[in-house]
Structure 1
């Protein structure tokens, strides 16, 4: 353990950057917020778990060196980028259709959603795992947060600390935005909220499709 703790001075800058990135607005947090206020706390928490699972997938890939391998194969990243962009645009279309529905046809706050737990988890997982920028974020954490030839125990420690923090942040979003106050606010401005999410997902999807990695 003392050997692992000696790497903490290297980890802190990367950890702080990671927490800021995870807590800042993005497709993942918007998905958690939207699901929590419209479908309830359970749905929001399951979506958060799916997003965290996607992050863990990239963390494992970065730790195994797969990120560097993918970086050398542009076609693999291009395919992931296109899939991620298309999926975000699909979410934009879903939000747009929801915004057009009259309030009488929307079951707000109903914990009995049309989605199963598996579907909610997969939705969250897909949002994160189809974003190639996520793997570069983890590559930066592993590269900047640890010196060369760091032991496996140090790699596992930084992944565990970052994943614990991301789970805390994601579940906090789900808990806060599934309260009765959030639901009342959402009911009052549902169409505006859904419309804003549609625009956000569209911009994020188009940016991903047109960006160079």
Structure 2
């Protein structure tokens, strides 16, 4: 594995970068975690975060297993997956750059009264699983590392690294964003984050379709 890793590490880390910047961009999972922490406290926020992470893992596992099966069964499928993934990344780039040009304020989703830990976890899981963009995003992320002849360990390594980041990141959000001040600070940086995200998605799309 060590020798092979040097042949694929650059693609694996581009996949990591795509996942990380996607997580930084405001979306239902991030805003719901913020809202839960702000309105119901850190404990509720952490449980929502854990639910979001498990939902992301579910989509990632489905994408990894599905892509591995498709690519092992249909030798020409990789080109189709990359074109589709590249198109989706360009769509995300358009949305991110459009958001960066907007002066709209960032508002976290209202959560209401504190819920039980289990119901908070289920709600976080459901938020991620009912968002079909999660599947498309994971297909794009994992396909970044699947160059022709990629060994079987590439997809699991991408999934494991991305989920380690997701666990640390969303729990940190729940712990830190329990005050309105933190949301305000993040909101001031939103346009820069979206702009960076848009540029990176364009790069990732180009890299994906030209591998």
- Could you tell me how far apart the structure 2 residues matched to 1:154 and 1:30 are? 31
Q: Which residue of 2 aligns with 1:33?
A: 34
Specify every segment of 5 or more residues in structure 1 that has no aligned partner in the other structure, as ranges: 70-93, 99-106, 108-112, 190-213
Aligned pairs (5 A) from 1:181-196: 182=179
Larger Rg: 1
- Could you tell me how far apart the structure 1 residues matched to 2:152 and 2:53 are? 21
With structure 1 as the length reference, what TM-score do the two structures score?
A: 0.61
Runs of 4+ in 1 over 3 A off after TM superposition: 66-69, 183-186
Q: Does 1:121 align with 2:121?
A: yes
Contact 1:15 1:145 in 2 (8 A): no
Q: Which residue of 1 aligns with 2:142?
A: 142
Give the deviation of 1:66 after TM superposition. 6.6
- Could you tell me how far apart the structure 1 residues matched to 2:139 and 2:45 are? 28
Q: Which residue of 2 aligns with 1:79?
A: none
- 1:10 and 1:171, CA in 2 relative to 1: closer, same or farther beyond 3 A? same
Give the deviation of 1:150 after TM superposition. 2.3
Give the deviation of 1:10 after TM superposition. 1.0
- Could you tell me how far apart the structure 2 residues matched to 1:128 and 1:183 are? 23
What is the aligned length? 145
- Could you tell me how far apart the structure 1 residues matched to 2:110 and 2:68 are? 32
- 1:151 and 1:119, CA in 2 relative to 1: closer, same or farther beyond 3 A? same
RMSD, aligned α-carbons: 2.8
Q: Which residue of 1 aligns with 2:24?
A: 23
- 1:183 and 1:10, CA in 2 relative to 1: closer, same or farther beyond 3 A? closer
Q: Does 1:152 align with 2:140?
A: no
Q: Which residue of 2 aligns with 1:62?
A: 63
